[in-house]
Structure 1
Amino acid sequence: MPTPRQDIFYLHLLRCIAAIAVIAIHVLGPFRFLYGEIPFDAWFSAVGINALSRWAVPIFMMISGALLLSSNKPFDARHYLKRRLGKVVIPFVAWSLIYAGISGALANDPQITVQAIVDAPANPTWYHLWFFYDFIPLYFVIPLLAPLLKAMNEEQIKILLAGWLTLTCMHFLKVPSFLREPLVLFIGYLVLGWYLFNRDNRSQLPLWLGLGISAAVINLLGSYWASDHKGAYSALFMGYKSINTVVIGAMLFVLAQSYAERLGAALRRIVTSISTYSLGIYLIHPLLLIPIRSAIERDYAQFGHPAVAIPALTLLTLVVAWALTALLARLPIVRQLVP
Structure 2
Amino acid sequence: MNWINNARIVSTLAVVLLHVSAVVLSENAVGSEYWWFGNGFSSLVRWCVPVFTMISGALLLDPTKQESLSKFYSKRLSRILIPMGFWSLFFLGWTFFHGVIDGAPPNGLELFTNLLSGLPYEHLWFLYMLSGLYLFAPFLRKIIAVSSHRELTASIIFMFVVAGINFAQLSFSGVYRPSLFLNWFLLYIPFFFIGYVIQRDQRTFSQTMRWGTFTLSTLLTCLGYYFALTKNELLPDGYFHGYLSITVIPMSVSVMYLLKSWDKPILNQQLTKQVALLTFGVYLVHPIFVEILNKTNFIRVFHPVIVIPSATALIFMASLFTSWLFHQVPYLRKTI
Quick check: 1:239 aligned with 2:242? Answer: yes
Q: How does 1:1-339 map to 2 (within 5 A)?
A: 8-36=1-29, 40-70=32-62, 72-108=64-100, 112=107, 115-117=110-112, 119-171=114-166, 173-174=168-169, 182-230=184-232, 234-261=237-264, 263=265, 266=268, 268-295=269-296, 300-302=299-301, 304-338=302-336
Tell me, in whole angstroms, the C-alpha distance in 2 between the residues paired with 1:36 and 1:208.
33
Deviation at 1:160, TM superposition (A): 0.5
Match of 2:175 in 1: none
Q: Indicate conservation of the 8 Å contact 2:168/2:239, yes or no.
A: no
Deviation at 1:205, TM superposition (A): 4.6
SS at match of 1:54: coil
Deviation at 1:170, TM superposition (A): 2.2
Q: Indicate conservation of the 8 Å contact 1:172/1:243, yes or no.
A: no
Tell me, in whole angstroms, the C-alpha distance in 1 between the residues paired with 2:38 and 2:267.
33
Deviation at 1:257, TM superposition (A): 1.4
Tell me, in whole angstroms, the C-alpha distance in 1 between the residues paired with 2:36 and 2:123.
23
Deviation at 1:282, TM superposition (A): 0.6
Tell me, in whole angstroms, the C-alpha distance in 2 between the residues paired with 1:274 and 1:134.
24
Q: CA RMSD in A?
A: 2.6
Q: Indicate conservation of the 8 Å contact 1:201/1:254, yes or no.
A: no
Query: Could you say if the C-alpha distance between residues 110 and 212 of structure 1 is closer, same or farther in structure 2, counting changes exceeding 3 Å?
Result: closer
Q: Indicate conservation of the 8 Å contact 2:54/2:193, yes or no.
A: yes
Q: Indicate conservation of the 8 Å contact 1:35/1:233, yes or no.
A: no
Tell me, in whole angstroms, the C-alpha distance in 2 between the residues paired with 1:101 and 1:172.
31
Query: Could you say if the C-alpha distance between residues 335 and 33 of structure 1 is closer, same or farther in structure 2, counting changes exceeding 3 Å?
Result: same
Deviation at 1:71, TM superposition (A): 5.1
Tell me, in whole angstroms, the C-alpha distance in 1 between the residues paired with 2:224 and 2:270.
37
Tell me, in whole angstroms, the C-alpha distance in 2 between the residues paired with 1:305 and 1:110.
33
Q: Indicate conservation of the 8 Å contact 1:103/1:113, yes or no.
A: no
TM-score, length of structure 1 as denominator length: 0.86
Q: Indicate conservation of the 8 Å contact 2:63/2:144, yes or no.
A: no
Q: Which runs of 5+ in 2 are unaligned?
A: 173-177
How many residues are paired up?
322
Q: Which runs of 5+ in 1 are unaligned?
A: 1-7
Q: Indicate conservation of the 8 Å contact 2:99/2:106, yes or no.
A: no
Write out per-residue CA displacement over residues 54-113 of structure 1, whole angstroms, 9 at most, x where no aligned residue. 111111110110110015232222222222011111011011111111111222277646
Write out per-residue CA displacement over residues 157-197 of structure 1, whole angstroms, 9 at most, x where no aligned residue. 12102212322442355399xxx863332000111101111
Tell me, in whole angstroms, the C-alpha distance in 2 between the residues paired with 1:13 and 1:143.
26
Write out per-residue CA displacement over residues 140-168 of structure 1, whole angstroms, 9 at most, x where no aligned residue. 22100101111111111121022123224
